[in-house]
Structure 1
Amino acid sequence: MTTFIPGEPWSTGVARAANGSVTIAGVGVRALATEHGTPAYVLDEADLRARARGYRRAFETAFAEIGAGVDVYYAGKAFLSVAVARWVHEEGLRVDTATGGELAVALRAGIPGEHLGLHGNNKSNAEIARALDAGVGRIIVDSLVEIDRVANAASTERPAPVMVRVTTGVHAGGHEYISTAHEDQKFGLSIAGDGDSPAMQGLLAVLARPELRLLGIHSHIGSQILDPSGFEVAAHAVLTLRAQLAERTGVLVDEVDLGGGYGIAYLPGEVALDPDRIAKDIASSVQASATDLGTPLPRFSIEPGRAIVGPAGLTLYTVGTVKPVRLEDGRTRTYVSVDGGMSDNIRPALYGAQYHAEVVGRSAAAQTVLARVVGKHCESGDIVVHDVQLPADVRAGDLLAVAATGAYGRSMASNYNHVPRPAVIAVADGTSRVLVRRETEDDLLALDLG
């Protein structure tokens, strides 16, 4: 017998109803599928807001205790829509964007420019110009070449506020592709070197341009990080660089961004990083580093990443073909095909990411069997969930939910095999509404000029 147990990796609004069907924020999955179709991304608004609020409060409290201020930035790349940008800003967060498109969404949501940041290792001139026109609070420069490009687009009358992104050499993250602070990769300027490191060169280059205003130093060591020790090592390295710059130039920068990328639970039994714990640990670490260096604390900023939106979302599918396959070791694996796949969640194919799925539209009294949830695309690697126990009587027409897909599902979605991308549905207080409408074949054909 399979039993749905609320809790991680599901959002707090997910529950099993008396008839065996699952509800999300009081809305039944059957009703969602009937009204909005499948596949569909479903976001629990109250859960997302609570996570945003929780991170802000945890860090504000912990950093206030050491006499420092802190800002929390929502990672637009995880998932961004006009409504979600408004939600997180209403909960006191700022918004981090990585492209002109993300910046456009945040501006459409009415987020004040000073509460926005622009990242990116290869910003176009148009993206830089738009950021300056919008009055963004900070542009994170990623290379020596970009420093000059931003300076040339700005003016001495209205200097561009910039932070220099550095790489600390700290390796962290769930996969090599999302570890962003080792030396052999595209982001940032290395702090490695004797006094004249690329990072120091970048800071000096910013100070040499009157069209730029140096806000501070930015560090980001990776994503889906579950061990907080990496943040402490990286923070010490960045604060040391800050002190070295002050000793060399007399300029003690006002702000340090410690990045984030805090890990979440994707499978039952996994434990996400606790906001209160990570906030207290990092605050204690930076206080100790500043004391050792003999420098006052700057203002800090952090970027929780997927930790806010990831657990708040799930993807709802309808089961199609169910096929038992005999394995070489004599076992049988049941292949459960759904009406989506790698076009709505590329992470299992790209990273080997692990997810959890359950039959959610009915009670399931059958014993479980080893199953693999796969998509409808013409790829053998089109896997949604590699291994999961599903009821032996899983059948066509069943509703299947995959947990913790709020981050990087819709934002990395594609039209592979010309499959339209799913809708994003918000649920709150027993009602649902469309945040991003489902694409149609007409949308696909409208782009094809023949």
Structure 2
Amino acid sequence: MSRLPANPLAPQWLAVPEDANALAAGVWPASAARDDDGALTIAGARADELVQRHGTPLLVIDEDEARGRAERLRAAFDRAAAAHGTTATVYYAGKAFLSTIVAQWMTDAGLNVDVCTGGELAVALAAGVAPDRVGFHGNNKSVAELERAVETGVGTIIVDSEIEIERLAAITARTGTEQRVLVRVNSGVHAETHSFLATAHEDQKFGFTLVEAEAAVARIRELPFVRFVGLHCHIGSQIFGVAGFRESASRVIELHARLQEGGEVPILNLGGGFGIAYTSADDPTPIDELAEGIVATVADECAARGIRIPRLAFEPGRSIIGTAGVTLYEIGTTKDVTVDTGGETAARRYVSVDGGMSDNARPALYGAQYSARLASREGTGDPVLVRVVGKHCESGDIVVDHEYLPGDLTPGDLLAVPATGAYCASLASNYNHVPRPAVIAVQDGVSRVLVHGETIDDLLARDAGIPSAVPEARTERAPAGRSEGERCLY
């Protein structure tokens, strides 16, 4: 394909590709390739054959990619911590994508698991994750969720408010069970990311300010069965570079040093948020560089204050599972739209697929950018600027805002969107009564289901106006997320 002039509707970062079939390194799983017929393959499995078996939309997870990233990330932090005389524990952030099988991959790789709701805790426990390898987050943990966490022996609960401290005080006093906790703090550092993703500035729902945290720790230290073991700080998501982590760590370690005057503070958890490449323009920081830069900063800050470096913990999710995921769609319709750019006109092709914001809410939530490629074949037409959109009744139902694809794409072609392993299935909905897609794993050319796809019958089964679809047991069920035995707690 020839290099054509850039479309004036395209953003500056998006270059016209020499080959609109090429798969950008770092954006796709390392196993992604094209076979002799031009079809996309992932871990040796052809996209069209996966779709024939499992349908579309379909989220495909490269198992070896996910496992390998988990192992490499854990090893990077192990090396960095050992070089500075401490240890590091890596938690997989389950909110990125959690299923029982994925949880097992993570523990096989030596990671712990981070959850933030009773539902995620249930999945981790069902996967056989040892409770003491679970960290429990969340700004609004219910009494029932906290009781379940204490009852099962969750390793650490990350407390987020004064109310939560008092709830834990009552639960642990009643049961006589000691519970280890971290206190989540806001360092005031704004991550290099979208404002919705930045979670360490003061005006937001998570954690305590650096000033408030001292009073929270003092209260915890008064309690007989709640044991303070350290601080937690997470500055945001999809972060490139180490500057934000360095500044945040320096502020949190100042608090850490003050708290040591009143007792031990053995653990410092600096969260996650390590970015990945969604487009060829993205340049994420290599994980070895991140690990060494962050741990070295902690070591330097501790040395400057004459204190010993604590045990460290980190919580990556996207950087493990994100690049391992590719979503497959079928193209339904295409439409060329002419736009007046101020004195001249330009064309954009709208490409509609059979999914959308119900299986990937990130573009609608905060303008996330993605890439796309034809998956069932190689295209032969010159690149055209496209916007990939979903089938939902929203103008903001955009899957890929800007991309160049071969001009001969047509209804019935399969389209692949890479880097969808994180937060797509987790955020999926049934908007417009669209069933959520299946999630499958592929390895050595073989696929297996991780999460079953929904059907229209599944959706109708929840509608109380369809008597034949409502099982008798369902009419007396507890509210969502609560067991029958938990009714009395609300």
Q: Same fold (TM over 0.5)?
A: yes
Cα drift, residue 298 of structure 1? 1.0
Name the counterpart of 2:8: none
CA distance in 1, matches of 2:362, 2:281: 20
Name the counterpart of 1:282: 294
Letter in 1 for 2:220: V
- C-alpha contact (below 8 Å) 2:33/2:42 kept by paired residues: yes
CA distance in 1, matches of 2:150, 2:177: 9
- C-alpha contact (below 8 Å) 1:253/1:298 kept by paired residues: yes
- C-alpha contact (below 8 Å) 1:223/1:305 kept by paired residues: no
Letter in 2 for 1:14: A
Paired residue for 1:310, among 312, 322, 326? 322
Cα drift, residue 366 of structure 1? 1.0
CA distance in 2, matches of 1:141, 1:227: 28
CA distance in 2, matches of 1:372, 1:346: 16
The alignment status of 1:57 with 2:65, answered yes or no, reads no
Q: How does 1:12-411 map to 2 (within 5 A)?
A: 12-155=30-173, 157-191=176-210, 197-247=211-261, 249=262, 251-329=263-341, 330-411=345-426
**Structure 1: gaps spanning 5 or more residues:** 192-196
Residues 233-242 or 254-263, more deviating: 233-242
Equivalences, count:
443
Letter in 1 for 2:189: V
- C-alpha contact (below 8 Å) 1:243/1:252 kept by paired residues: no
- C-alpha contact (below 8 Å) 2:241/2:290 kept by paired residues: no
Name the counterpart of 1:9: 27
1:392-412 residue CA offsets vs partner (Å, 9 max, x unmatched): 111001000001000000000
- C-alpha contact (below 8 Å) 1:151/1:160 kept by paired residues: no
Name the counterpart of 2:5: none
Cα drift, residue 173 of structure 1? 4.2
1:125-160 residue CA offsets vs partner (Å, 9 max, x unmatched): 110011111111000000111111111111384211
1:240-296 residue CA offsets vs partner (Å, 9 max, x unmatched): 11111122x2x1211010111100000013222211101111121111111111111
1:310-340 residue CA offsets vs partner (Å, 9 max, x unmatched): 0100100000001111112311111000000
CA distance in 1, matches of 2:248, 2:264: 18
- RMSD (Å) for aligned C-alpha atoms: 1.0
Paired residue for 1:439, among 454, 466, 469? 454
CA distance in 1, matches of 2:186, 2:256: 14
**Structure 2: gaps spanning 5 or more residues:** 2-19, 466-490
Q: Secondary structure at the match of 1:448?
A: coil
1:83-133 residue CA offsets vs partner (Å, 9 max, x unmatched): 000001100000000100000000000000000011000000110011111
Q: Secondary structure at the match of 2:358?
A: coil
- Structure 1 stretches of 4+ with a deviation exceeding 6 A read none
Cα drift, residue 6 of structure 1? 4.9
CA distance in 2, matches of 1:305, 1:189: 23
Evaluate the alpha carbon distance shift between residue 89 and residue 145 of structure 1 in structure 2; reply closer, same or farther with a 3 A threshold: same
Letter in 1 for 2:409: V
CA distance in 2, matches of 1:428, 1:272: 26
The alignment status of 1:427 with 2:436, answered yes or no, reads no
Cα drift, residue 305 of structure 1? 2.6
CA distance in 1, matches of 2:215, 2:317: 29
Q: Secondary structure at the match of 1:216?
A: strand
